[in-house]
Amino acid sequence: MNSSYNENFAKLFLRLFVGILFLLHGYAKLKYGTSFIESVLEKNNLPQYLVYGVYIGEVIAPIFLIIGYYTKTFSLIIIINILFAIYLVHPSEIFSLSSHGGLALELQYFYIFTSLLIILIGPGKFSLDEK
Is a pLDDT exceeding 90 seen at residue 3?
no
Mean pLDDT over 111-126 rounds to 97
Contact residues for 34 (Cβ-Cβ < 8 A; gap 6+)? 51, 54
HSE-CB at 10 with a 13 A cutoff on CA atoms is 12
Q: What is the pTM of this model?
A: 0.93
Question: Which of 46, 47, 77 is CA-nearest to residue 60?
Answer: 77
Is a pLDDT exceeding 80 seen at residue 130?
no
